[in-house]
Amino acid sequence: MRSGLFSWSVARRGIAAACLAGLAPSAGSGEGMLQYFNASWNQIAEKVPELAEAGYTSIWLPPPAKANGGYSVGYDLTDPFDLGSTAYRGTWTTRYGTEAELLNLVELFHRFGIRVYFDNIMNHRAYDVPGY
C-alpha cells in the first residue's frame, strides 16, 4: 500500500543517479590534518613530500611567534609579531627556527597543496610582559 506522494523506488533511483553523477559526497573527500609539533621548521620541511604522498591535505603547527624561553613550546608569548627575525632575550630564532625558515616551510606546503594552520595565542602573554 502506498501512502501519500512519496515513492521509495523513485527516491532510490534519484540517489543512485546523484551518486553516478558525482553529486554525492564521497567517503574520501574529507580533510586529512596532521598535528606536527616538537620539530624545527627545517626538519618539518624535509618531510613535506612524504606528508603529501601520505595524503595529508592540511597541517597544524605550533605557535610560530617568539615565546618566553628557549625551552618554551610557544604558549607563553613575549612578542606575538616576532616570528624569529629580531634579537630578543639573547636569541634571534624561535624554538622552531627563523622567520625565513618558517616562510620557506609555508611556501613548500602550499606548493604541495597542503593548507597550513597555526595555533594562535590571543588571550595571554608571558609572565614578565607588561600588561600581562
Q: Tell me the pLDDT tens digit for each residue of 81-98.
A: 888 887 777 777 888 899
Task: Tell me: pLDDT of 58 over 60.
Answer: yes
Q: What is the mean pLDDT of residues 94-120?
A: 94
Cα–Cα distance for residue pair 106/63, rounded to 1 Å: 13
Q: Are 110 and 100 in contact (CB under 8 A)?
A: no
The total of other beta-carbon atoms located within 10 Å of residue 28's CB is: 7
Split at pLDDT 50, 70, 90, the class of 53 is very high
The total of other beta-carbon atoms located within 10 Å of residue 64's CB is: 24
Give residue 13's identity as a one-letter amino acid code. Answer: R
What pLDDT is stored for residue 86 in this prediction? 79
Q: What is the pLDDT of residues 8-52, one digit of tens each?
A: 565 556 555 555 444 444 455 678 899 998 899 999 999 999 999
**More confidently predicted of 111 and 22:** 111
